[in-house]
Amino acid sequence: MPSKPCRICGDDTLHPFLDLGEMPIANAFLTADQLRQPEYKFRLRTGFCSHCLMVQLIDVVDPKMLFHDHYAYYSSISRVMDRHFAGLAELIGESLLYDRELPLYEIGSNDGILLEKLARWNPNAVGIEPSTNVAEVARNKGLTVVGEFLTPALANELAAKYGRAQLVVGGNVLCHIPDLKELAKSLDGLLDEEGVFVFEDPYLLEIVTQLAYDQIYDEHVYYFSVSSLSRLFESHGLRLFRVQPIPVHGGSMRVFGCRAGSRRPTESSVGDQIELEQENGLGAPEAYTVFAERVAQSRQSLIDLLGNLKREGKRLIGYAAASKATVILNYCGIGPETLEYVCDTTPTKHGLFTPGTHVPIVPIETFAADYPDYAFVLAWNHLKEIVEKESAFASHGGKFITHIPTARVV
């Protein structure tokens, strides 16, 4: 299949490197009635642009099909993420805010997990969240949330209404935005002259090193390196001045940026990280070809492990109906013949079925009521938190399975 031009620079230098096959929307969990209807699917393929270095989806799903009035993911599900965002709010409050009058904006504020902490530092904290059901949860906490996608027009409207921002922040948001040129225009409309932006997203080097192929799905249009991101911002009059690797979601990067002409100096962390990326080959297509080969091996290791356990007559379940679960289950062809159910803490997912593979999703209490032999953790990024809180499972002789980078019993 011929490739498409790069979504960032428009060049015909996009090297397709991984094809995870026909994929449903990761968070499109199904009702029993919907199981009999055809599901929307798209080709989940990634490419690397050798001109601007951006790794990206080749086919993109319309964001309105992903973020709406019944978005499945509530950010406040994890204690670890709550602590993480408390740390981010503190860092912002203590070292980045410089004027109590100027507002700050959080893009993709979801159910307010970060916004409520930021609002303690600055009463003029405004969330921007197009998924109206999660935005409503944040409003019920007394937070100010605009229920729309951020566009340059909305940015100008907000700047006129609340003022220009001393800070714009987004946790796991930037990589979800297909049109980053528009985002850069929005930042231009929102940011005060010395305003700062902070974004956290899954980090490409970690994805490649750890074989975290299940970070690749419809919502994640881009897989950023510091090299690709700094070039992108520079072409829009913005500049990264600091980067900081962070452990959440299996390895993410926190980037700090400002207007190109800001007084803030660019710190050595930016250049150092770019150098590390070059040393790891992220600037050339070969790294991605090798990644794709290793992904196929990882898939096989999982199929073999689960297949062997089933043949031994073991009872297996999935733990956490995460977005990435949809990728793993569909790409590896794992369905109800292997997993009795997937248990999850999100009440709105209970009674539904996993997209494409149709495994029933049940409350977490079902797990503890009748422990299986093995629990395959489908949100491996929360493995430590899950193993710790489910210590009774291990006491009953149960074992967890993880698949990153290759399948194994932990």
Residues near ligand DWN (CB under 6 A):
73, 77-78, 172, 219, 249, 320-324, 344-346, 349, 379, 381-382, 385-386
C-beta closer to ligand DWN: residue 116 or 344: 344
Residue with Cβ nearer ligand DWN (262 or 346): 346
Amino acid at the residue 68? H
CB 81 to ligand DWN: min, Å: 7
Residue pair 317/343 in contact (Cβ under 8 Å)? The answer is yes
Could you tell me the smallest distance in angstroms from the CB atom of residue 29 to ligand DWN?
9
Closest approach of Cβ 143 to ligand DWN, in Å? 19
Q: What's the rounded Cα separation, in Å, for the pair 63 and 151?
A: 13
Residue with tokens 């027009």, as numbered in its chain: 153
Which tokens sit at 187?
């930042």
Look at residues 326, 320, 324, 317 and name the one whose alpha carbon lies nearest to residue 354: 326
Q: How far is the CB of 286 from ligand DWN (least distance, A)?
A: 28
Residue with Cβ nearer ligand DWN (286 or 365): 365
Contacts of 279 (CB under 8 A, 6+ apart): none
Judged by CB, which is closer to ligand DWN: 267, or 385?
385
The CB-of-134 to ligand DWN minimum distance in angstroms stands at 11
In angstroms, the CA 303 to CA 277 distance is 32
Residue nearest ligand DWN by beta-carbon distance: 322
- The nearer residue to ligand DWN, 159 or 342, going by C-beta atoms, is 342
Tell me how far CA of residue 134 lies from CA of 68, 84, 129, in angstroms: 9, 20, 8
Beta carbons of 334 and 357 less than 8 angstroms apart: yes
Q: What CA–CA distance (Å, rounded) separates 198 from 85?
A: 12
Looking at residue 264, its amino acid is R
Tokens standing for residue 327: 């990728």
Q: Name the DSSP letter for residue 67.
A: S
Q: Taking the complex as a whole, how short is the minimal distance between the CB of residue 248 and ligand DWN, in angstroms? A: 8
Closer to ligand DWN by CB, 116 or 390: give it. Answer: 390
φ, ψ of residue 219 in degrees (nearest 5):
-70, -30
Q: Give me the least distance between CB of 242 and ligand DWN, in Å please.
A: 22
Token readout for 102 is: 């100027």
Side chain identity at 82, as an amino acid letter?
D
Nearer to ligand DWN, 162 or 197 (CB): 197
| CB nearer ligand DWN, residue 170 or residue 189 | 170
How far apart, in whole angstroms, are the C-alpha atoms of residue 168 and residue 241?
A: 15
Minimum CB separation of residue 71 from ligand DWN in Å reads 9
The first and second tokens of residue 11, run together, are: 């060049």
